Structure 1
Amino acid sequence: MRTAIFFSLALSSAVTVHAAPAKPAAAPKLVVVMAVDGLPQEQLVRYREQFGQGGFRRLLEQGAWFGNAHQAHGTTVTAVGHTAILTGAYPYQHGIVANNWIDRATGEEIYCTEDRAFKYLGEDTKPNDGTSPARLKVDTLGDQLRYATGNRAKVLAVSGKDRGAILLAGKGGTAYMYMEGSGNFATSSYYMAQHPAWVQAFHAGKPQERYYGRTWRPLLADSAYANDAEGPVFALSYYSESGQPDAAFYKRLKEGPYLDELTLEFARAAIDGENLGRNPAGVPDLLGVSLSAHDYVNHAYGPESRMSHDHLQRLDRMLAGFFADLDKRVGSDGWVVVLTADHGFANTAEFSQQQHIDAGRVDPKKLMAGLAEHLAATFKGIKPIANFSLPNVYFDQPALDKAGVKRADVETAARAWLLAQTGIAEVYTRTRFEESGATGTRIDLLLRRAWHRGESGDLVLVPRPYWSFGSGTSGATHGTPYAYDTNVPLLMMGKRWIAPGSYSQYAEVVDIAPTLAAILRVRPPAGAEGRVLTEILKPAQ
């Protein structure tokens, strides 16, 4: 009606009348980005009816949910997946190609966030411990938010794993990670010289010690777990041989729900201690929370297990309490949350075999020993392989050059032998990656995205579906380009910004950073290739 009146006046008076432009919604006070380490989309769907009211169910009903969302790169591991979330970039740009890879300069294995120039504050630091984002080659959403606000925005991340915190915090944020030697959350000298008072107070309270002697038992009635692979009721106790809290106990805490409880408790302390969402400068803040325990549980018991099922139910209740606290601390219309995962999970090989699926494990050391023997016999007098950290295999290029052996010939010989081995589906070579032109299959695309010219290997191995690299005889893992590893939850909720609903459109985890950049009205990270998920954004009011 109002538009019709304006139109009539314009005709009668020859005066053009424009409707007032819609006032854009203010940026949220706090953006919370949560990663549940090792959570496949399939588990969210399978256990949905058992969730309570305020956690996953709240996200599903009051937020936007993409059921067809993927970590769209070929090496689905923790470091790579966490990096995708707030860079919006693929590994070929951001340079984090695995949790560990080989340093071409030294030939030694390196860890994704190790930096021997820095130490943990108040904690023992080993040479390969994660202490900085030095190996991250691009910026993050948090870095852009800091830039846009003249460094007044606060960016903080906390995780049970150092790589989970560091790769969410970016270059300019602050990362806190769980210390398995003490049960504390600590940062490193890359970020600051001394912990702030609120962190020191958290340490003094020793919340980790309340779990000593605690037993993790099923949360739900036995009938709720009827479809799980694990039949007997489990009871996992947390203690140490010394009879008191010590490093063995703190390490044991990582495998179960109490690590996530501690992580969320520290996140609450950070919100209060840093006034997140109540920034005196009136600018938005960003909090990254990586919940690591589900990954540990799935590795140990498999995503089909009763333990994994129960852990997800407990995590659901933890999220409900955390979201309720955000409502109180920031206001229910003042925050936006994103929840996703760094990767999914395959079932244990034994469980898959019970389902009549071809599944198994490939022992990396035996495979590489066989390859080395074959190449040594083929190219007499040289050893073409310098080192490996599967799925990457690195050639000794100086040795090849000295012997006058072409890399392409070694690639061809290695690929042919590897493809004849049990459990190997495909072998990608440096020559193939460096060739220009269109990609072939979707897996080709995912592997190209995952390959970095300077950091990745000369060969990249892909196991067959439901096969994995490992020498153990139990447990489960991830890391492949198959759907069970790539399909992860992507949920976003924010009363003033996000239109609730279930969205069938294809989405990628790299879409998170540009979408949040649009909400925050800041420039997206430089390497971001994701799209803005415009279909979930509420129109400006």
Structure 2
Amino acid sequence: MKMKTAILLPPLLTSLLLSISVPAAAAPARPAPAPKLVVVMAVDGLPQEQLVRYRDQFGKGGFRRLLDGGAWFSDAHQAHGTTVTAVGHAAILTGAYPNQHGIVANNWIDRATGQPVYCTEDRTHQYIGEDTDPSDGTSPARLRVDTLGDQLRYATGNRAKVIAVSGKDRGAILLAGKGGTAYMYMEGSGNFASSTWYMQQHPQWVQAYLAGKPQDRYYGQTWRPLLADSAYANDAEGPPFSFSYRGESGKPDADYYKRLKEGPAVDELTLDFARAAIDGEALGANPAGVPDLLGVSLSGHDYVNHRHGPESKMSHDHLQRLDRMLASFFTHLDKRVGADGWMIVLTADHGFANSAEFSQRQRIDAGRIDGKKLLAGLEQHLAATFNGLKPIVNAVPPNIYLDTAAIDKAGIRRADVEAAASKWLQAQAGVADVYTRTRFEESGATGTRQDLLMRRGWHRAESGDIVVVPRAYWAFGSGTSGATHGTPYRYDTSVPLIMMGKRWITPGNYTQYAEVVDIAPTLAALLQVRAPAGAEGRVLTEALRRP
């Protein structure tokens, strides 16, 4: 058996070794605890350009507080081709593009029935205490992926509270996700209500809020400019406007409640209800000690821009009023949650084009495409080309759906019908490009920025077999006033993306390219929960505070 030999060190060397002080390893810096409340806010129809143009007129506590104290990504986009409300709201907290989340428009065609469907329609559920039409938005059943709120609920054993409120049902439902709770403005009564997807009866705090009838306080009031006339000197309209909140019956009625949506009142009511939710649900003071999530979608700016155009005095003034509303709301959050306890992300579901008439006065080629006339002409052309065949099932521009069974029965190649339709459509006034199912599936349609955005916006099961892209500054519509959105051009994709929360966010103007789909993975990283399954965005690490 071999014996181990001990190694003996000289006494002086042993003494030196014992005298050396080895510093202890530095403890890793601990990240700040998660926010008590995360607020995700969408201003419906707010182009980045308007935020920049009117910045000097904002007060200190609203948009300017966000711009000065938050991380502002000045080159941020809704990076998909069909830039409308439902599609943009679905992107915010799923982190997914339409080709995954499945919300391809506000309305599209159900392939099984050939009939139009609404994005949040669910005929198995009804509004609580309110009349419900079959096509009303009552659930997120058509959303094909989960959201950040769903992941937060899962990670906390459903102890985190996820609430969303909006002037539009789709604005609330698509932020709330599958497991949150959505409340939406009812244009027939002026109330906010949820649906039976979420609960059978409103909680007591909602009942108390509704009993106060806050929507009636605007009756007989007039919306007039907030600022001096000189502040609106660069706007497109003439004399200062006035907009009265009244109904034909002489008292608050359905006409009056619907009219509230056309100005700043609907946003003030939405923020009032959000305050009631913060207090009633104790958001940010969760007894389980977990973060809560509040989604707020402010719908008024979209209605104003559609009616008057983003170049108008009314749009300008609405944004100034919204700025003051946000300042008051942020102050409420400071008091209820604590200035160090909450953070916010503010973005938009889409931008906006100027009205065609305004663009024409700027000598820009602009106009409107009458979708009904376009479809009628296409049907006539295809019937003449294919011996009387009627290959179109239905259409909701920009999507056109083909009757593939009829095409196959006639012994005609689907690709030939698509090609004939595409060639005819591209020859029509105002049409820039046409994407077909064959083009999407065979080529991938990823050659240009527009190709990429259109590919992201196309869902194999839900989108049309033919998708029409208007020329820049052209849009679908048959009116002679107002403005719209929905294209892959930058005026429709460019939106604000601002994050504020001094314990978690490093303020500054970040010029790096960013997308709205980056919001969900970034918040997931901050909350230390799994990102939604369909999320394709990146974590905006450059704006996060280092531990």
The TM-score bracket by the shorter chain reads: over 0.9
CA distance in 1, matches of 2:290, 2:470: 47
Q: Do the aligned partners of residues 16 and 367 (structure 1) sit closer, same or farther apart at CA in structure 2, a change above 3 Å counting?
A: same
Structure-1 separation of matches of 2:248 and 2:317: 26
Alpha-carbon separation, structure 2, partners of 1:112 and 1:375: 30
Matched, 1:450 2:457: yes
Q: Which residue of 1 aligns with 2:133?
A: 126
Once the two structures are superposed, what CA deviation does each residue of 1:294-334 show, in whole Å capped at 9, x if it has no partner?
Answer: 00000000000000000000000000000011000000000
CA distance in 1: counterparts of 2:101 and 2:23, whole angstroms: 51
- Output the amino acid matched with 1:481: P
Partner residue in 2 for 1:54: 61
**Aligned equivalents of 1:23 and 1:347: distance in 2?**
48
Aligned equivalent of 1:314: 321
Question: By how many angstroms is 1:17 displaced?
Answer: 3.2
1:481 aligns with 2:488: yes
- In 2 relative to 1, CA 437–206 (structure 1 residues): closer, same or farther, beyond 3 Å? closer
Q: Residues 166, 414 of structure 1: CA spacing in aligned structure 2 closer, same or farther, 3 A cutoff? A: same
Quote the Cα distance in structure 2 between the aligned partners of 1:456 and 1:106: 14
State the match for 1:405 in structure 2: 412
1:440 is the counterpart of 2:426: no
Residue in structure 2 matched with residue 299 of structure 1 by the alignment: 306
Q: Which amino acid aligns with 1:319?
A: L
Q: Secondary structure at the match of 1:321?
A: helix
CA contact (8 A) 1:10 1:17 kept: no
**TM-superposed deviation, 1:13:** 3.0
Percent identity between matched residues is: 80
* Aligned counterparts, 1:123-522, within 5 A: 123-436=130-443, 439-522=446-529
Q: Could you tell me whether the CA contact under 8 Å between 2:167 and 2:184 is conserved in 1?
A: yes
- Could you list the runs of 5+ residues in structure 2 that have no partner in the other structure? 1-15
- Count of paired positions: 532
Q: Which residue of 1 aligns with 2:80?
A: 73
Task: Check whether the contact 2:445–2:455 (CA below 8 A) recurs between aligned residues.
Answer: no
Matches of 2:237 and 2:318 in 1, distance apart? Answer: 13
Q: Does the Cα contact within 8 Å between 2:121 and 2:139 map onto a contact in 1?
A: yes
Distance 2:234 2:445 in 1: 44
SS class of match (2:499):
strand
Aligned 8 A contact 2:439 2:445 in 1: no
Structure 1 residue 25: deviation in Å?
A: 0.9
Choose the corresponding residue for 1:87, options 94, 99, 107. 94
Q: 1:33 aligns with which of 37, 40, 48?
A: 40
Distance 1:265 1:11 in 2: 69
CA contact (8 A) 1:37 1:290 kept: yes
- 1:4 counterpart residue number: none
Which residue number corresponds to residue 64 of structure 1?
71
Q: Which moved more, 1:74-83 or 1:375-384?
A: 375-384
- Closer, same or farther in 2 for the Cα pair 1:498/1:380, shift >3 Å? same
3-state secondary structure, aligned to 1:157: strand
Amino acid paired to 1:70: H
Whether the aligned pair in 2 keeps the contact of 1:143 and 1:170 (CA below 8 Å) is yes
- Report the alpha carbon displacement of residue 437 of structure 1 after superposing the two structures with TM: 5.3
User: Do 1:345 and 1:485's aligned partners in 2 also have CA atoms closer than 8 Å?
Assistant: yes
Root-mean-square deviation (Å):
1.2
* Normalised TM-score (structure 2): 0.96
Separation (CA, whole Å) in 2 of partners of 1:313 and 1:24: 37
TM-score of the superposed pair, with normalisation by structure 1:
0.97
Larger Rg: 2
- Which whole-Å CA distance do the structure 2 matches of 1:320 and 1:435 have between them? 51
In structure 1, C-alpha distance between the alignment counterparts of 2:32 and 2:161, rounded to whole Å: 21
